[in-house]
């Protein structure tokens, strides 16, 4: 009779331990997974180029990122406006008295190149294929890059 109680107690303890382990496993799996509403992580929002201001001069501080579809030549009105604003700022810097700093040179060199660009999260660095600087504008920019 004593042995029967001992084995029942042992079985009950083992069942309770198994339940505790199952709950622990379930809780740890739940903590590691995102909530149901956030299962799909959305693409990061578009970050337009940033221009630093020094006196009346505007410095190009980030490359101009544009949606990958624009690299195929299809631009919305908003994209055309952003392209024109970026071009205007690059050209304003090209005619200013202040030379390009190293980071600006890198950004502008990428902007006037026609080599293929890396696409990341649906965005690509806008280059000459998208910006379409004229020959005179390119000459002006390249002269400024050499200073």
For the residues of the chain, what is the DSSP string, one character each? -HHHHHHHHHHHHHHHHHHHHHHHHHHHHHHHSPPGGGSSPPPPPP----EEEETTEEEE-S--EEEGGGGGT---HHHHHHHHHHHHHHHHHHHSSSPP-HHHHHHHHHHH--S----BTTEEE--HHHH---HHHHHHHHHHHH-
104 C-beta neighbours (distance < 10 Å), count: 19
Q: What is the pLDDT of residues 11-39, one digit of tens each?
A: 888 888 888 888 877 777 766 655 555 54
pLDDT of residue 4: 54
Residue numbers of the chain with a pLDDT score lower than 50:
1-2, 39, 53-56
Q: Does residue 113 contact residue 127 with C-beta atoms inside 8 Å?
A: yes
pLDDT of residue 108: 87
Domain definitions of the chain by residue range: 2-38, 51-146
23: which 2 tokens?
């709950």
pLDDT of residue 58: 64
Q: Which residue has the tokens 């995102």?
A: 34
Distance CA 74, CA 68 (A): 10
pLDDT of residue 7: 78
């Amino acid at each position: 009779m004593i042995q029967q109680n001992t084995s029942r107690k042992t079985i009950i303890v083992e069942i309770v331990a198994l339940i505790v382990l199952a709950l622990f496993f379930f809780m740890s799996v739940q903590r590691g997974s995102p909530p149901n509403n956030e299962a799909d992580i959305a693409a990061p929002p578009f970050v337009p180029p940033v221009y630093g201001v020094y006196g009346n001069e505007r410095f190009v501080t980030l490359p101009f990122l544009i949606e990958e579809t624009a690299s195929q030549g299809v631009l919305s009105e908003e994209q055309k406006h952003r392209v024109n604003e970026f071009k205007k700022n690059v050209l304003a810097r090209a005619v200013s008295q202040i030379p390009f700093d190293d980071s600006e040179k890198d950004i502008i060199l990428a902007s006037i190149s026609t080599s293929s660009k890396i696409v990341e999260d649906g965005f690509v660095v806008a280059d000459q294929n998208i910006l379409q600087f004229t020959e005179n504008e390119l000459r002006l920019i390249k002269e400024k890059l050499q200073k």
